Amino acid sequence: MDNGTQHNANAWRQTRHQLPEVGWTEIMATFSIVEHLKSLNGDVSYGKTFIDTKSRQGMINEQEWDRAAERAEENGVPASFIAELEQGHTGAVIQFDTGRSGPHVAYRVDIDALPIKESKDAAHEPVKNEFQSQIPGAMHACAHDGHTAIGLGIATYISEHLQDLIGRITVIFQPAEEGSRGAKAVVNKGWLDDVDYFLSGHIGIASLAVGEIAATSSEFLATTKFNVSFHGTSAHAGAKPEEGCNALLAAATAATQLHAVPRHSAGASRINAGYLNAGSGRNIIADTAELHGETRGSTTDINAFMIKEARRIIEASALMHNVDYQFTIVGQGEAAVCDEEWKQWVPAALQNSRLITNVHASMAVGASEDVTVMMNHVQKQGGKATYMIFGTPLKAGHHHPAFDFDEKVLQTAAAACLQPLVTQIWTASEEK
């Protein structure tokens, strides 16, 4: 990637940073991606062709879509394009065929933002350079704006160098990674069914400098995302407090107690009640409450332990306050293991790189990633998968209002992804 691409990557990232869209509402992002991909020498798919309707998890409601659609139109997305997305079929894919025999290589980047209010601190780079979020309450605080730019850079490079490559290449722009909601809907459309080599990765994560990368990752957390609705009985808080069945207190009790699930001796466990909305007014015993939570575990068994505990705690919280409840699973992430071979392949591919100064064999992720669904799918078919870490200093942690990275990582990440393809390092390795 030359400087021109670098310039583009920064611009792509900053545009996306200004218009962050949360999972299943990435209309502006999808439009912008599709517009660019259509200018390349590949087959572009999106909408229901790209996404399997029934496999989508944690789908937004109609109102949320309408609001996103309205906003997208105001920002210049044609109504006809929005219609093509048929409510929540966001993201896109481009397929290249060199016409020459060779392996099928696939890349995946994610494109959704987070419901976080971005920092207004003058020292925050997006503020200083005037590309901060224009969408109230939404922010690219997990670098998916950067990932999108990397994906566009990869696709552009492939398109421009198609005559030098062999086999087939697929670049996937996945929606709704946050909450582990979108990968399954891509997988179930078959895009990865015959992939030989699958590459993905993440900006930041470990404490690495720009120029440093990790060839593989470990410690993906299995995860379950759930929603709980509590239904009680409202009553006048002054006149008849004893007639109420308090859904707010049921949810508050659940939230506190969920965080007190015992630690697990077999490895990392996580639990969070991240959203709670209950009641309508101060003088009414609240008859409804909505709680969104998640569990994680460094193994499937630990996550299973956590979710089992969580379900019992929620049942008990409802009983405690004499209310009904509904428990729904809205997302599920898997554990996954990178193929060992990449620990050799990636360093080999990058040994002469001008941009990459240091390649670590593996770094721990310590979080959940929807990509695991894709990795496990590829591996089950006999393919090899890796998930790299692209080093950059961070101004604040992932999901923090002041999260920011050094944009130079965009170029190193693209290089780390492309070089194994260009060198066909896996074939070279196998030949040895």
Per CB under 8 A, which of residues 358..417 are in contact with a second copy? 365-368, 397-401
Determine if 319 is a binding residue for a second copy (CB under 8 A).
yes
Query: What does the angle CA 349 – CA 152 – CA 106 come to, to the nearest 5 degrees?
Result: 50
Determine if 67 is a binding residue for a second copy (CB under 8 A).
no
The site map against a second copy for 321-340 (x = CB under 8 A) is -x------------------
Cα 6 from chain centroid?
Answer: 23
Provide the minimum distance between the beta carbon of 78 and a second copy in the complex, in angstroms, as a whole number.
Answer: 26
- For a second copy, give the closer residue by CB, 40 or 402: 402
DSSP state of 168: E
Provide the minimum distance between the beta carbon of 66 and a second copy in the complex, in angstroms, as a whole number.
Answer: 15
Please select the residue that binds a second copy; options are 276, 304, 337, 422, rule is CB under 8 A.
276
Residue type, 426: W
Q: Compute the distance between CA of residue 346 and CA of residue 363 in angstroms, rounded to an integer.
A: 14
- For a second copy, give the closer residue by CB, 63 or 352: 63
Determine if 212 is a binding residue for a second copy (CB under 8 A).
no
Determine if 130 is a binding residue for a second copy (CB under 8 A).
no
- Which long-range CB contacts under 8 A does 277-284 form with residues at least 24 apart? 278/230, 278/247, 278/248, 278/251, 278/252, 279/247, 279/248, 280/234, 282/237, 283/236, 283/237, 283/238, 284/234, 284/235, 284/236, 284/237
Q: Compute the distance between CA of residue 130 and CA of residue 15 in angstroms, rounded to an integer.
A: 11
Tokens of 212: 């440093």
Residues from 190 through 209 that contact a second copy (CB under 8 A): 205
Please select the residue that binds a second copy; options are 49, 67, 240, 300, rule is CB under 8 A.
240
Total count of residues recorded for the chain: 432
Please select the residue that binds a second copy; options are 59, 127, 166, 268, rule is CB under 8 A.
268
Q: Compute the distance between CA of residue 173 and CA of residue 23 in angstroms, rounded to an integer.
A: 12
* Burial class of residue 29 (count of CB atoms within 10 Å of its CB; 0-12, 13-18, 19+): buried
Q: How far apart are the first and last CA of the chain?
A: 28
Please select the residue that binds a second copy; options are 223, 303, 362, 419, rule is CB under 8 A.
223
Residues from 77 through 96 that contact a second copy (CB under 8 A): none
* Burial class of residue 244 (count of CB atoms within 10 Å of its CB; 0-12, 13-18, 19+): buried
Stretch of 99-107, 207-215, 257-265, 372-380 lying at the interface with a second copy (CB under 8 A): 257-265
Count of C-beta atoms within a 10 Å radius of residue 401: 16
Please select the residue that binds a second copy; options are 34, 51, 185, 285, rule is CB under 8 A.
285
- For a second copy, give the closer residue by CB, 249 or 371: 249
Determine if 3 is a binding residue for a second copy (CB under 8 A).
no
CB neighbour burial string for 30-46, b if at least 16 within 10 angstroms, e if fewer: bbbbbebbeebebebbb
Determine if 249 is a binding residue for a second copy (CB under 8 A).
yes
Ramachandran region, residue 91 (left: φ > 0; alpha: ψ -120 to 50; beta: rest): left
Reference 368, options 183, 208, 210; nearest CA is 183
How many residues touch a second copy under the rule CB under 8 A: the total is 85
- For a second copy, give the closer residue by CB, 303 or 386: 303
Please select the residue that binds a second copy; options are 124, 270, 343, 384, rule is CB under 8 A.
270
Determine if 136 is a binding residue for a second copy (CB under 8 A).
no
The site map against a second copy for 107-126 (x = CB under 8 A) is -------xxxx---------
Please select the residue that binds a second copy; options are 93, 109, 221, 417, rule is CB under 8 A.
221
Please select the residue that binds a second copy; options are 54, 260, 380, 432, rule is CB under 8 A.
260
Classified as helix, coil or strand, 227 is: strand
Stretch of 69-77, 80-88, 186-194, 218-226 lying at the interface with a second copy (CB under 8 A): 218-226
The site map against a second copy for 137-166 (x = CB under 8 A) is x----x------------------------
Determine if 311 is a binding residue for a second copy (CB under 8 A).
no
